[in-house]
Amino acid sequence: MITGTIVNTIAVTAGSLIGITFGSRIKTKTKDAVVKALGLAVLVLGMKMSFVNHDFLPGLVSLVLGTGIGEFLDIEIKLDKTGKYLQEKTGSNSGTFVLGFITATVLFCVGSMTIVGAIKDGLNNDPSVLYVKSLLDGISSIILASTLGIGVIFSAIFVFVYQGLLSLLASKATFLLSEEVYVNGISLVGGIIILGIGLNMLELTKIKTANMLPALFIIPFMDFIFKLF
C-alpha cells in the first residue's frame, strides 16, 4: 500500500548521502553557482507544472485561502524550528542546514505527482508514479545535499510520513483521479509554489513557500465548487 513511498524515502536518503559524501570536495564558489543553476531549473519546473489546462481563478482562490491558513498555523516557522532542532541533535555546524531541510521538504512534497502517485499507490496498489518520482527526487537530493548539506537528508522523514498518510487515506480521495480537472488543479497550485522555491534559491525573494502548502488540499474542493456553477 505504501511501497512507492518506501522506495521514494530510500531514494531521497541514498541521494542525500551521496551528495553529502562528495559535496565536501566542491568549492564554495562552485556550490553557489550550482544552487543558482538548480534554482533556475526549479523555476522552469514550476512554470511547466503551472501551464496546464485549468481555470486560474480556482487556483488563485485556493492559494489565497491556503496561504492564509498556512500563515495562521505558522507552518514555515514550525519547519524552521524542526530544522534547527535536528541541527542541534546532529551537532551540525552547517550554515545551510535549515535551508536545505525546508527546501528539500517542500520540493519533494509538492506537486500533482506526489498526491496522485500516493493515492494510486494506496488505492490501486500501483506505485509506478512514485517510482518515477523516486528517480527524480533521488537525483535532486544528490544535487541539493552536495550544495546545501546534511539538512536535506531529513526531508526523507517528511516524504515518508506525508506520502504514507496520503496513501493510507486514499480511499477517501478517489475523486482526485476521476477527472483531469483535479489533477491539473493540483499541478497548477503546486507549480506556483515550486516557482516560489526557485525564486528563493536564487535569493530574489524570501517567500514562505511552506505556508502555501494548504492550498494543495483546497484546490480540489474549489474545482468541485466551480464545476457546480
* pTM of the shown model: 0.80
Query: pLDDT digits over 20-51, tens only?
Result: 898 777 777 887 888 888 889 889 888 988 89
Mean pLDDT of 90-115: 83
| Cα angle, residue 45 at apex, residues 181 and 130 outer, rounded to 5° | 65
- CB neighbourhood size of 100 (10 A): 28
Tell me which H or E stretch contains 42.
helix 28-50
Q: Specify the length of the chain in residues.
A: 229
